[in-house]
Amino acid sequence: MVLKSWLCMALTSVAVTALPAAPAMAKQAAHAPLPDRPMPDAAYWNAQLPVAQRVADLLARMTLEEKVAQVTSVWQGKTKLQRADFTFDPVKARAVYPHGIGFFTRPSDKTGPGSPRDNAPRSIADSVAYANAVQKWAREGTRLGIPVMLHEESLHGLAALDATSYPMPIGLASTWNPDLVREVNRQIAGEARARGVQQVLSPVVDVARDPRWGRIEETFGEDPFLVGEMGVAAVEGLQGVGKNPKLSPGHVMATLKHMTGHGQPESGTNTAPAPLGERTLRDFFFPPFKQVIDRTAVASVMASYNEIDGIPSHSNKWLLGTVLRNEWNYQGAVVSDYFAIEEMVNRHHVAADVPEAARYALDAGVDVDFPDGVSYSTLLAQAKAGTVQAAQIDRAVTHALTMKFNAGLFEQPFVTDLKPALSSNTAAAVALARKAAEQSLVLLQNDGTLPLAMPAPGAAKRTIAVIGSSAQKARLGSYYGIPRATVSPLAGIQALVGSRANVIYAPGVEITKNDDWWADKVELGDPQTNRRMIAQAVETARGADTIVLFLGDTEQTSREGWGDDHLGDRSDLDLVGQQNELLAAVKALGKPVVVVLVNGRPPSYPAVAASANAVLETWYAGEQQGAAIADALFGRVNPSGKLPVTVARSVGQLPVFYDYKPSARRGYLFGTTEPLYPFGYGLSYTTFDIGAPTLSAVTIRPGEAVTVRAAVTNTGSRAGDEVVQVYLRDDVSSVTRPLKQLVGFTRVRLQPGERRDVAVAIRPEAFGLWNREMKFVTEPGSFTLMVGANARDIKEVKLTVAP
């Protein structure tokens, strides 16, 4: 992401004035004939040849200047390539980049970093026209006609205008449904590719082990297995299922990030050192990356901002070379995080200047410099001076070109049909966003208040007081796009109940004075003003039958802290501002209080847990959140989400992840080690019974798998989904192991009274460990397998691994 301390150092923006969009021009560009290719008989244009042969042929024809151009990118510098109306100018591009450019950052924005509220993104038509103009210049205006790879953010939807917005990843992880995550990302890929984008910067497979860290909302949670399964599904959706690196239509290159340790930073602050030993890295942080690399053809990996044992990741040869390429046989490209190479100068202080930082990164195996190529633009002079070896540049260029050949850019870099792009955010995509939102909702508490009764036609009207500023807005979270329409929770409730109930509303408190994720300054609502608003909310709710109270975060109170002037991490986990005062005031009315949480970090809200009649965690649930929340509140949808994180009672419990070692959590004076909510936890409007587990074999040998079976019965009166979770413990081992670790799960839907036998296959590597010699082995002995609906409520069975 943007690190603002480097904005001025990188490239100076040009002030421009927005003009109306030009869809006719875009349509014309989208249907333009394919320009002539330079050197048409060169082998690199021959699609019948192997990619490696085409890369080698092209590389042999390239000058040093052209090679360096291929490992750099442009973002803020795009203003130097545009006309006053923000359209791409090939004449200016030829002057600034006479040897071409490798990558283009976020073509949907007009001037580089900044809030889309202040600088409206390009329309779909203009985006397509812009992408085609960039490719036309690359084809016709550069000596070799090497196409440009364009990338966008797509964490939970394409971050552009009129794109579908899905739940944040922490919400998607709460579905425990890899098939759904795969379909969401397939839809995201289709919307991106239709606009001429070939690469997206997702998914995030950081294992998030500290809830103070503002980026936790971008992750799939705290568990390596769950994160790995969701990461694999996301890449399969974006890039395609299987190991074929060539893109098929409607897909994009995925970028696996951030390699690694990023999710447990010192003090919980973004980009801080990851105080982790090698065994901890291999046990908890490496597995999701390795799972994705082993099972997919993921095209790129992004290094992380942090350091590990004194070595920033962008200069870590062991991390990016020994582990990633040699041990895991990774064949794709390694890209930098935004401005991270320069950060080795001004933040880590391991390089005296940018050229030295560039040498560190290139030597470690970073292939491409995002977002503006500031560091790698120094490689030309360094190569000529002999401080950088040509072979190192060739290696990086080879990886960059391989991506482009696999993306099919040399055959067709242009958008030739505008209709798929213009139909973005289709009815099918909106329905999928609603389905994802429904499955992401986690019911944390319920004394029977939920579901709310829907008044029958003609019956006496009941009054529902909806309180809280997050009720009247669909909060989308970080890296957001702008969908065609959103449904706020208040609108969802009003649309569902119609005239059958009186729905009254009061904002209650102002959490932050501004809620724009991009804005640097974060200012909480004025306490005195909020207390007057609380009094007004109490009067509004006084005559209500039920109070639905919305509490939590805004996009400013938990977010990526990408600079010293743009913070996003927290030293406290509880509700900010006067929200607890609002809770106490409405609770004092003696009415049933249903708390709906809208937030990005785990809900460490002890007062809410102690006083609410029901608690529904909704995270940032995307553009259709209002409809999904309303359906859940009134029982049209049965909540089925499960927490992908352990929820601490207070910051003093941290770290609080469930898969801790035997010597941890001895206890506290005057406190408890028990979390507020356990990992994997989530209630339903029905009840389930998970029977005693059985095994396909009670004895296996190293390298063999086993299947765990259990009968699941819906013992309640409503249809619902249960997630059967399987955990494992190595009873005696040569090195310490977690008391339990997730090794499998399956989601099952059951009708009332229905019983089904479920089977969960446990992979052979689940029984392995990194021994005292740091070798991955399976040690013979006793293992305990545990089955349950969360990490706390489990039933056990024993298994032996024979010598």
Q: Which active-site residues does the annotation give? A: 337
Token pair of 350 as six digits: 């391991």
DSSP E strands, 599-678: 614-617
Tokens 């709906």 locate to 596
> Is the separation of the CB atoms in 661 and 478 below 8 Å?
no
Q: Which two tokens stand for residue 62?
A: 């390239």
Q: Is 83 strand, coil or helix? A: coil
Nearest alpha-carbon partner for 680 in 166, 167, 175, 264:
175
Q: Six-digit token pair at 480?
A: 């957001």
Question: What whole-number distance in Å separates Cα of residue 137 and Cα of residue 142?
Answer: 7
Q: How far is CA 1 from CA 36, 67, 358, 636, in A?
A: 37, 25, 18, 39
Nearest to 347 by CA among 707, 714, 6: 6
Dihedral over alpha carbons 44, 46, 52, 57 (to 10 degrees): -30
Gap between the Cα atoms of 208 and 410, Å rounded: 39
Strands 546-552 and 462-467, bridge-based pairing? parallel
Residue-by-residue DSSP string for 643-658: -SS-B-SSGGG-S--S
Amino acid at 555: E
Q: Cα separations (Å) of 603 from 201, 369, 444, 638, 676? A: 27, 37, 10, 21, 9
**Considering all CA atoms of the chain, what is the largest pairwise distance in Å, rounded to the nearest integer?**
86
Pairing state of beta strands 103-105 and 149-152? parallel
Alpha helices in 220-365 (DSSP H): 224-239, 278-280, 286-295, 317, 340-346, 354-364
DSSP-assigned letters across all residues of 506-535: E----SBS---TT-S---BPPHHHHHHHHH
Q: How, if at all, do strands 300-303 and 255-259 pair?
A: parallel
Q: How far is CA 483 from CA 124, 486, 522, 766, in A?
A: 12, 7, 25, 41
3 state SS of 752: coil
The answer to whether 439 and 445 have CB atoms below 8 angstroms apart is no
What are the C-alpha distances in Å from 649 to residues 65, 393, 408, 595? 57, 51, 51, 17
Contact predicate 530/509, CB 8 Å: yes
Secondary element (H or E) of residue 579: helix 579-587
Beta bridge mates, 363: none
Give SS3 for 199. strand
Q: What is the DSSP letter of 589?
A: T
What separation in angstroms does the CA of 593 have from each of 216, 251, 427, 531, 686?
Answer: 28, 45, 34, 19, 21
Is there a contact between 746 and 769 (Cβ–Cβ < 8 Å)?
no
Give the closest residue to 631 by CA, choosing from 452, 425, 443.
452
H/E stretch holding 58: helix 51-61
| CA nearest neighbour of 412 among 105, 34, 55 | 34
Gap between the Cα atoms of 368 and 255, Å rounded = 12
